[in-house]
Amino acid sequence: MSHIHSVKVALVATALLAALAVGCSTGGDTGTESVHPGEVGAAADVVLPEEYVLAQHFELSINVTSSKFNTKRRIPRKYSCTEEDVSPPITWSEVPEGTVSLALVVDSDQIPGIPWVHWIVWGIPPDARGLPEAVPNTPEAPSIGPKARQGTNTDKEVGWSGPCPGPVRLDFHGADATGVKPVKTYSFKLYALDTDIELGTEATKQDLLRAMDGHILSGGELLGEHVSKERIRDGNS
């Protein structure tokens, strides 16, 4: 594991513990307070916007798949922060007639709080039937299409930020000692839109959802699981 990835894993672990502490101490708070893994100590507590909920109803008629993972095969570590941290390839079925562009949102329950955003992409051509592996983390994404753009994830970086869950803490008997589900779920949500989306690279998931709400013809979702390879055994349990 590289030094950068080692630091990132450690910070996420710190963030997870801090978030649990915040959750226990805030009582009746609204739940919008969260922790960013790139910050440590008192500065770790940041207020994130409330999760935007799409008002529009639409069918999930698009079948989204990947050759690298599915509901029975976990997301390989190659795509996580502990190894290459590149985006995985995904494919999808035919999209509705009238589709002008496609958008992708990848988020997870990696830490407590609102979903952790790993990737947002829009301007995907309507005739595209998948995304290649290892899309470069640049605002423009010519490997996807001439209008394809990537926004800012929760790590405050443009492009893909792979699974990076905190370590699994085990008790003396080898069972989970925290009560927190060690296996995290990563959602790849694809949207077929009747319009082009015009946003800057600073755009977040919330910005993208607001821009495309009311323009969604259909959607599809692929779920994948990942668990940290870090194991901490609590000998005092």
What would the CATH number be for the domain defined by 52-233?
3.90.280.10
Contact criterion met (CB below 8 Å) for 182 and 111: no
User: What pTM did the predictor assign?
Assistant: 0.78
Decide which of 131 and 111 is more confident: 131
Instruction: For residue range 156-179, list pLDDT tens digits in order.
Output: 999 999 999 988 776 655 555 566
Asked whether residue 216 carries a pLDDT value surpassing 50, the answer given is yes
pLDDT at 70: 93
pLDDT of residue 48: 57
* pLDDT of 180 strictly over 90: no
Q: Any idea where the domains of the chain sit in the sequence?
A: 52-233
Q: pLDDT class for 47, splitting at 50, 70, 90?
A: low
Q: Which of 45-49, 144-148, 227-231 is the most confident on average?
A: 144-148
Percent of the chain with pLDDT over 70: 72
What does the pLDDT average to over 111-118?
A: 92
Q: Is 194 exposed, middle or buried (0-12, 13-18, 19+ CB in 10 A)?
A: middle
